[in-house]
Chain A
Amino acid sequence: MATPTKGNVTNLNQTPGANNKTQNHTHNTGSNGLIIAQFTMSNARTYTGCTYGGVAMTQLYQISRGGLSQRMAFFYLENPPTGNNQLRVNFNGSQFNPISMHIRSFTNSGGVGASSRTGGQSTPNTQSLTVEDDSLIMITSCSINAITSQQIPTGTNRTYTQHNTNRQVATGAISADAGHSAGSISLRSSSTFGTITLDRTEIKGLSSSVDTSGGDFFAMF
């Protein structure tokens, strides 16, 4: 196994003012590509689809956080077109509230794995995700109050981008390059006070195509 290779990142926090939002993003060259997109916006609208380079992305989840009046979603596409292409997310009507968008490319990825979501809980919100060997984990959170940390695993602060969608959103936090050993990984999100959500998704590593754990040898005399 090998951990996925992290590629280009695009973060955006704008008001679509239309029934879609587009953004150019450059996907890295390399085999076993994966592009993911995390969105958060007012739940007055729903996400009706997402494309990258004109190719439909798969919706992993879309969830309304009623207490926060927000809707969060995760889309992905394996082996997307490389180079600079347009990502487009569509809504069921014009969205005049800001959207948080995080777009990230990977190569050498085995795709998207386990994923779980937990709604607002008193800070800190500590959850877990069971992953395979050499996987990475991405987390995202939403709160009324300022978000103060995203920890992967619990106790290890990871960098993230804080967006304002009329709520506070932390997006883009991801494991260190070394990845995780297989098993349950504790994760934590924190805000200044009140409640905070914690959604987590596994980015799988690549299964080794060559068995290097052993082999047949012939003694030559």
Chain B
Amino acid sequence: MIIISKIELEGTDNLKYTDIGYTTDINVANEINEDYDSTLGKFLGENRTKLTLGEVSISTFFSGVDSVNEARIEVENVDGLGISEITNINQL
């Protein structure tokens, strides 16, 4: 099973991850991750050094975006996590 995380800005410089669902469909996970890779993932990739040095703030990315989803946590069961299965990306 793959957990789907919602990523938001926390404070001014931190990312906040919240588990919002899970999927057993690799196509759903791939679709989510393709969107991540072309948005927040791209921003992080282009600005890693400047973000680390404090020359760029992660808040820059979130100035026009509320949140981004990512599906890169693999677990064997979701007991106790309190999340529901996502079978279609439109459910998010």
**A contacts, CB < 8 Å to B:** 8-19, 22-26, 44, 83-84, 93-97, 161, 166
A138 to B67 CA separation, bound complex (whole angstroms):
36
Using CB atoms, name the residue of chain B closest to A15: B44
Bound state CA distance, A141 and B51, in angstroms? 27
Shortest C-beta distance, B22 to chain A (Å), equals 12
User: Hey, which chain A residues are within 8 Å of B10, CB to CB?
Assistant: 18
23 A/B residue pairs, CB under 8 Å, sorted by A: A8-B77, A9-B74, A9-B75, A9-B76, A11-B74, A14-B5, A14-B72, A14-B73, A15-B15, A15-B44, A17-B7, A17-B58, A18-B15, A19-B14, A22-B17, A23-B73, A26-B80, A83-B80, A84-B81, A94-B13, A96-B48, A97-B52, A161-B74
In the complex, the answer to whether B74 meets A14 with C-beta atoms within 8 Å is no
Please classify how large the interface on chain B is, using the bins under 10, 10 to 19, 20 to 34, 35 or more. Answer: 20 to 34
Chain B contacts to A: CB under 8 angstroms: 5, 7, 10, 13-17, 19, 41, 44, 47-48, 51-52, 58, 70, 72-77, 79-81
Shortest Cβ gap from B75 to chain A (Å): 5
Closest approach, in angstroms, between the C-beta of A41 and any C-beta of chain B? 12
Q: Are A12 and B51 in contact (CB under 8 A)?
A: no
Smallest CB separation, B33 vs chain A (Å): 10
List chain B residues, Cβ under 8 A from A13.
Answer: 72
- The residue in chain A whose Cβ has the minimal distance to the Cβ of B15 is A17
Please tell me if the beta carbons of A16 and B79 are within 8 angstroms of each other in the complex.
no
| Pairwise interchain contact A10-B14, C-beta atoms closer than 8 A | no
